[in-house]
Structure 1
């Protein structure tokens, strides 16, 4: 069946508040902490309805979602955001198509979506595997008109032939589910060049109070985080949603995806928005502004 009426997400104008729910594999990468900081520090744009701690296991059950949940709690405490919205653990990776895995995180997405309307939708931002987003759609199909999905699938250099991104590989069935569903979808396909050296964050971020120091010193937890060209990819999703003019995007036919992450352009699943570039300087400026806002208790 060809889907002709799939809605293309329309981002609210600058100055309007977006109600968001974030799904993040926060313990797998340092960029999630920095990305979440943008949302925390800009309440004039983002009203956070909840955060789901996602897995990053890739092949089945593991303790990764619990690791994400524990680090999320630490981040909320350090940033002063503890207790301001609900948090929950997400699901293990999907094993079979059309078969959702239950979790408190999936139920949180559904509950907040059902509190929303097509006129005032919930923006669900996935910066980890697509598991929880897909399971929510499968478990409660009625939410499709009440949500807008943003999925970080950064692999712009291989579009339109294939994807090779960690979030997609982490649950290919879930990513396939998003693409083949009716959900209004933004495929965030950039962020590669959002980088900062250790020396830069040591100079600019570490002096910005206890929270700035925490974010900089988090780099010391993994030698990879200290590299001069370390990417902070997921920050781009929030920068784009804050100000779409900072990005470049297009409307494309939504592809299908094979189990080996190759795209099939069947033109059967309607259209989606694909973001393929983001302003790096403005993204970092937005991040530092968020840290400063949190420092002042805004």
Structure 2
């Protein structure tokens, strides 16, 4: 039996912990910020929502795709991109930033050491159990799972909000944030950490937007808005898709939107699935609870986000 079993909440305590927070939350954002274009939106949206979110730190997550030569380079590019967003926003006292894992987990027993892991642990242990730390992960969940393996005591001090899998009924969970690190993804489901999942397909996939909308709402409003517009155009032009009718999902924004207002992103409590090696789910009705979003109001989320981004003074 894994050591985290000693720290799991009972069913009543888990249901209580999964209630949507009513006040301001303390948060760490774990992001692969250079991977796509949506992480940058999610980071800025968080920073521009101080009435609801107290962002204590930002941690860089690894990624490996066409935009990096290795997970380590992906993490390092993400680390630098976080500071780039800070600079564009002219922030005077931005939250500290920490480098994350340089590779994915090779087993469920061996955490990948990093500044990010230590920061998650230290911040979580300092949290009041009645005022838990929200660890919002919008990339591969290596840093968070490594922190749980290294210090399972944090299970009682945190809530993980993850933009990663697809909806529970989707035929496959073979999607980027899950499949990059199977061991870490399995730990998040099995450890008993309070977990809120923002599914990619069937929920976050509603957050479509286009170069035309981004230009209308953000270009020339401020340095950040113009940067976002340029990012969007660059993404489409790279793949030859910048034409009328094409759109792009800002997946990661959904995780921030859930924290800000659950009415925008309704969710339900379910039994935690078992993640199989072929990235399908098995079910067991004796397992602990988790919460999964079932819908998102694209209009209300984007009205709030574009208003905050467009009116930010830089």
Q: TM-score normalized by structure 1?
A: 0.92
Q: Given the alignment, which residue of 111, 133, 138 partners 2:149?
A: 138
Instruction: Name the counterpart of 1:208.
Output: 221
- Cα distance per residue 1:20-64 (max 9 Å; x no partner): 100001111101111112101110011101000111127975311
Q: Distance in 2 between matches of 1:78 and 1:181?
A: 38
Q: 1:248 to 1:263 in 2, by over 3 A?
A: same
Q: Report the Cα offset of residue 147 of structure 1.
A: 0.5
- Cα distance per residue 1:140-161 (max 9 Å; x no partner): 11111110001112423x6265
RMSD: 2.1
SS at match of 1:21: strand
Instruction: Name the counterpart of 1:10.
Output: 19
Q: Given the alignment, which residue of 51, 54, 58 partners 1:47?
A: 54
Is the 2:28–2:57 Cα contact (8 Å) retained in structure 1? yes
Where relative contact order (Cα < 8 A, 6+ residues apart) is larger, the structure is 1
Q: Report the Cα offset of residue 268 of structure 1.
A: 4.3
Q: Report the Cα offset of residue 82 of structure 1.
A: 6.0
Q: Distance in 2 between matches of 1:10 and 1:250?
A: 10
SS at match of 2:266: strand
Q: 1:283 to 1:241 in 2, by over 3 A?
A: same
Q: 1:138 to 1:293 in 2, by over 3 A?
A: farther
Q: Distance in 2 between matches of 1:162 and 1:41?
A: 34
Is the 2:163–2:254 Cα contact (8 Å) retained in structure 1? no
Unmatched 5+ residue regions in structure 2?
none
SS at match of 1:192: helix
**Which aligned pairs between 1:241-280 and structure 2 lie closer than 5 A?**
241-280=259-298
Is the 1:80–1:294 Cα contact (8 Å) retained in structure 2? no
Matched, 1:172 2:179: no
Q: Given the alignment, which residue of 19, 22, 37 partners 1:30?
A: 37
Is the 2:63–2:71 Cα contact (8 Å) retained in structure 1? no
Q: Distance in 2 between matches of 1:73 and 1:82?
A: 12
Report the number of matched residues. Answer: 293
Is the 2:44–2:85 Cα contact (8 Å) retained in structure 1? no
SS at match of 2:54: strand
Unmatched 5+ residue regions in structure 1?
none
Matched, 1:192 2:210: no
Matched, 1:230 2:248: yes
Q: Distance in 1 between matches of 2:293 and 2:161?
A: 10
Q: Report the Cα offset of residue 266 of structure 1.
A: 2.2
Q: Report the Cα offset of residue 199 of structure 1.
A: 1.3
Q: Report the Cα offset of residue 293 of structure 1.
A: 4.8
Matched, 1:80 2:85: no
Instruction: Name the counterpart of 2:258.
Output: 240
Q: Distance in 1 between matches of 2:36 and 2:117?
A: 22
Q: Given the alignment, which residue of 182, 186, 193 partners 1:183?
A: 193
- Cα distance per residue 1:204-238 (max 9 Å; x no partner): 21031222111111223333585621111111111
